[in-house]
């Protein structure tokens, strides 16, 4: 990892979103000082005397005509310990998959050396894919999950990390008793805060209402409130899961009510999935300020369901994207963007009334960047390019050597603005890590 360049100016094509329906593609410059964006402007402005004087001692990075500067991707939900299972064991629905493949693997992270060996690769893989911020589930283990925090710090990634909490008995013996669990979570939160690293945050992480009883969840909510932490969990992912949760909580009318009774739902809470929420549940989550991590790859691979993201957004929920490895079979947010478009298109095709059109490429670009930042309550720092925000960015080379995108002696009609918009479109539909030639987190180059 290289040192932070104190003053850098990028010159070329810069794309970022300011809303779901607002993508700006600017030909111009973006100046960074000590990791923060200090000035953004057009090429004309760059060429004025004042600006060129101001930027005289800045290192210049000039993009070529097929390169783009875009914000770093934000993965709002992934399971770091599950990476050794990526692409494996996708033949069972959620609850069986957890018992057969996931809990046995996660149990192995009791061995800190094993944890270290995996987590270094996980963080590196995500950075390679342009993920500058990840919201991670760790495992049940305190020390193992602290080694995930260490890996994020070592690689300079912005990371929200949760030690997973579970106190309900399962066949793998993968749970803690309530008192130990609450002690370990508080210790985890304190140790992460003691790191005093401004890129890393502890997240209180009740796995889901199948693995945690109300006493544990209320205790976790208390810890989160005392330390001002975010909370993350899963909600309403799979029909059998919902039936089970309602069976063991006969006093509750919905899955959301189970969490609400334990005070889990608030404006620092990120819930993964939300595939089957009723309108009342959506309203409840909106009123509590909960955000949703939409995980289309996992919903498809585990055959959990088709998440109606447009409905969630329409209801007023803040939505970001998650890869949900290893329910999801890809650790790439670029892949999650395409999966989100696919699921949304399938829903549009299935719905003959077509009241809610499928998400388009500009909208998933927003969800992968500013939408994710809002969902994680980090949009004051990241998500797009604005003066005062941290510089978390990717340099995209659309026709990178060895990549999937070939350059033809043909371009669709249009002006220069259309040409650069088409470059971004091709990256979103066809690109991969080979096109992501440089990655920056708070101004520090972490790839390339
Ligand atoms: N996809 C997914 N859903 C869950 N629900 C509870 N735990 C998990 C998990 O590890 N993955
Ligand atoms: Zn998950």
Question: pTM score > 0.95 for this model?
Answer: yes
Q: For ligand 1, atom 5, name the residue with the nearest CA.
A: 234
**Whats the size of the chain, residue-wise?**
448
Phi, psi of 254 (to 5 degrees): -145, 165
Indicate the top mutation candidate among 234, 236, 298, 330 to test ligand 1's pocket, ranked by most ligand atoms within 8 A of CB. Answer: 234
Pick the ligand that lies closest to the CA of residue 166. Answer: 1
- Pocket perturbation via mutation, ligand 1, pick of 104, 233, 324, 339 by most ligand atoms within 8 A of CB: 324
CATH code assigned to 7-71+385-447:
2.30.40.10
Strands (E), 280-368: 291-294, 318-321
Give yes or no for residue 354 having a pLDDT over 80: no
Residue whose structure tokens are 């094509």: 13
For atom 7 of ligand 1, which residue has the closest CA? 207
Rounded CA-CA distance 65/122 in Å is 32
CA of 356 to the centre of ligand 1 (A): 28
Q: How far is the CA of 98 from the centre of ligand 1 (A)?
A: 7
125-147: pLDDT as tens digits: 999 999 999 999 999 999 999 99
Ligand nearest the Cα atom of residue 101: 1
Distance 199 CA to ligand 2 centre (A): 22
Percent above pLDDT 90 for the chain: 96
- Report residue 317 as tokens: 């929920």
Calculate the CA dihedral of residues 335, 381, 384, 201 and round it to 10 degrees: 0
Q: How far apart are CA 132 and CA 365, in angstroms?
A: 15
- Contact residues of ligand 1, CB 6 A cut-off: 79, 94, 98, 102, 207-208, 234, 237, 298, 324, 327
Task: Kindly tell me if the per-residue pLDDT of 64 is higher than 80.
Answer: yes
Residues 305-342: tens digit of each pLDDT: 999 999 999 999 999 999 999 999 999 999 999 999 99
Query: Does pLDDT of 1 surpass 70?
Result: no
Enumerate the β-bridge partners of residue 131.
73
Tell me the CA–centroid distance for residue 272 and ligand 2, in Å: 6
Helix axes 142-155, 178-194, angle to 10 degrees: 20
Answer yes or no: are the C-beta atoms of 43 and 28 closer than 8 Å.
yes
Domain residue spans in the chain? 7-71+385-447, 73-376
Closest by Cα among 353, 446, 434 to 391:
446
pLDDT, tens digit (0-9, with 9 covering 90-100), for 247-284: 999 999 999 999 999 999 999 999 999 999 999 999 99
| pLDDT above 70 coverage of the chain, percent | 98
Question: Is 353 a residue whose pLDDT tops 80?
Answer: no
How far is the centre of ligand 2, averaged over its atoms, from the C-alpha of 214 (Å)? 20
Q: What is the pLDDT of residue 412?
A: 82
Predicted ipTM? 0.99
**Ligand number, closest to the Cα atom of 97:** 1
Q: Report the C-alpha gap between 89 and 362 in whole angstroms.
A: 33
CA 102 to ligand 1: nearest atom: 10
In eight-state DSSP terms, residue 90 is -
CA of 45 to the centre of ligand 1 (A): 49
Render pLDDT for 190-235 as a digit per residue (tens, 0 to 9).
Answer: 999 999 999 999 999 999 999 999 999 999 999 999 999 999 999 9
Residue 402: DSSP 8-state? T
Ligand 1 atom with the shortest distance to the CA of 302: 1
Chain mean position to CA 412? 33
Enter the tokens of residue 163: 């030690």
CA-wise closest residue to 440 among 194, 199, 195, 188:
199
pLDDT digits (tens, 9 = 90+) for 71-110: 999 999 999 999 999 999 999 999 999 999 999 999 999 9
* Distance from Cα 198 to the centre of ligand 1, integer Å: 28
Angle, helix 178-194 to helix 214-227, in steps of 10 degrees: 20
- Please give the CATH number for the structural domain made up of 73-376: 3.20.20.140
pLDDT of residue 166: 98
Pocket test for ligand 1, best of 272, 298, 307 (most atoms within 8 A of CB): 272
Average pLDDT, the chain: 97
Whole-number Å distance, alpha carbon 424 to ligand 2 midpoint, is 29
pLDDT in tens, 8-32: 999 999 999 999 999 999 999 999 9
Q: Cα Rg for the chain, rounded, in angstroms?
A: 22
């Amino acid at each position: 990892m290289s040192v932070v360049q104190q003053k850098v100016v990028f010159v070329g094509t810069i794309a970022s979103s300011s809303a779901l329906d607002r993508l700006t593609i600017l030909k111009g410059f973006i100046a960074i000082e000590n990791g923060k964006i200090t000035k953004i402007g057009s090429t004309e402005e760059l060429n004025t005397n004042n600006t060129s004087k101001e930027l005289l001692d800045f290192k210049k990075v000039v993009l070529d005509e097929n390169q783009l500067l875009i914000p770093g991707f934000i993965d709002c939900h992934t399971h770091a310990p599950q990476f050794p299972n990526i692409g494996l064991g996708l033949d069972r629905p959620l609850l069986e998959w957890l018992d057969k493949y996931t809990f046995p693997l996660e149990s192995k992270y009791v061995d800190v050396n094993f944890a270290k060996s995996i987590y270094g690769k996980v963080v590196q893989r995500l950075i390679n894919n342009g993920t500058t911020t990840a919201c991670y589930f760790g495992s049940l283990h305190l020390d193992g999950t602290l080694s995930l925090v260490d890996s994020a710090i070592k690689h300079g990634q912005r990371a929200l990390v949760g030690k997973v909490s579970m106190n309900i008995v399962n066949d793998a013996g993968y749970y803690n008793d309530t008192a130990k669990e609450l002690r370990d979570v508080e210790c985890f939160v304190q140790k992460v805060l003691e790191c005093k690293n401004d890129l890393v945050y502890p997240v209180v992480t009740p796995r889901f209402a199948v693995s945690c009883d109300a006493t544990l969840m209320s205790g976790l909510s208390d810890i989160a409130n005392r330390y001002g932490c975010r909370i993350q969990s899963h909600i309403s992912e799979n029909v059998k899961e919902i039936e089970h949760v309602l069976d063991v909580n006969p006093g509750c009318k919905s899955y959301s009510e189970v969490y609400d009774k334990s005070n889990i739902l608030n404006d620092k809470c990120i819930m993964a999935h939300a595939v089957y929420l009723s309108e009342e549940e959506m309203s409840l989550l909106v009123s509590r300020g909960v955000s949703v991590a939409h995980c289309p790859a996992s919903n498809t691979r585990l055959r959990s369901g088709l998440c109606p993201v447009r409905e969630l957004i329409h209801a007023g929920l803040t939505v970001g994207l998650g890869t949900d490895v290893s329910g999801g079979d890809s650790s790439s947010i670029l892949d999650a963007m395409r999966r989100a478009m696919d699921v949304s298109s399938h829903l549009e095709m299935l719905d003959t009334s077509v009241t809610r059109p499928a998400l388009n490429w500009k909208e998933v670009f927003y969800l992968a960047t500013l939408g994710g930042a809002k969902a994680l309550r980090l949009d004051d720092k990241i998500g797009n390019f604005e003066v005062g925000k941290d510089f978390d960015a990717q340099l995209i080379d659309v026709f990178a050597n060895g990549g999937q995108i070939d350059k033809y002696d043909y371009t669709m009609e249009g002006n220069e603005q259309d040409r650069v918009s088409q470059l971004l479109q091709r990256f979103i539909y066809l690109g991969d890590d080979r096109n992501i030639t440089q990655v920056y987190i708070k101004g520090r180059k972490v790839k390339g």
